[in-house]
Amino acid sequence: MKRVYRAASLFQVAHARNLLVTAGIDCEIHNQYLAGAMGELPLMETWPQLMVADADEARSLQVLERASAPASGAPWICESCGERLEAQFTHCWRCGADVSA
């Protein structure tokens, strides 16, 4: 297995896991219970880590990179309700309409 993500916060690692699961990539969180060992072990070795199969490493890194890239493009207007939304939103927060609708 290969480590594709590590962070001090379990919430960040869980979010990355959710992104990969949504993309159809099996993954596991390791070290989620090592916080109590801080001080006894090197700090970063106690951080939660996201692991994937060797064959899924490249695709996993692409998914995580794409998710962390800043949104590009212009704001858009929802055709259903007229709400103005920033480029990073793919659905209208007010009515739920898809940007491609």
- What integer best gives the mean pLDDT of the chain? 90
CB 92 within 8 A of CB 80: yes
**CATH homologous superfamily for 2-68?**
Hypothetical protein rpa1041 (3.30.70.1530)
pLDDT of residue 50: 97
Q: What angle do CA 44, 68, 8 make, to 5 degrees?
A: 20
Decide: pTM greater than 0.85. no
Residues 32-71 have pLDDT tens digits of 887 777 777 777 788 999 999 999 999 999 999 988 877 7
Q: Where in the chain is CATH 3.30.70.1530?
A: 2-68
- pLDDT, average across residues 78-95: 91
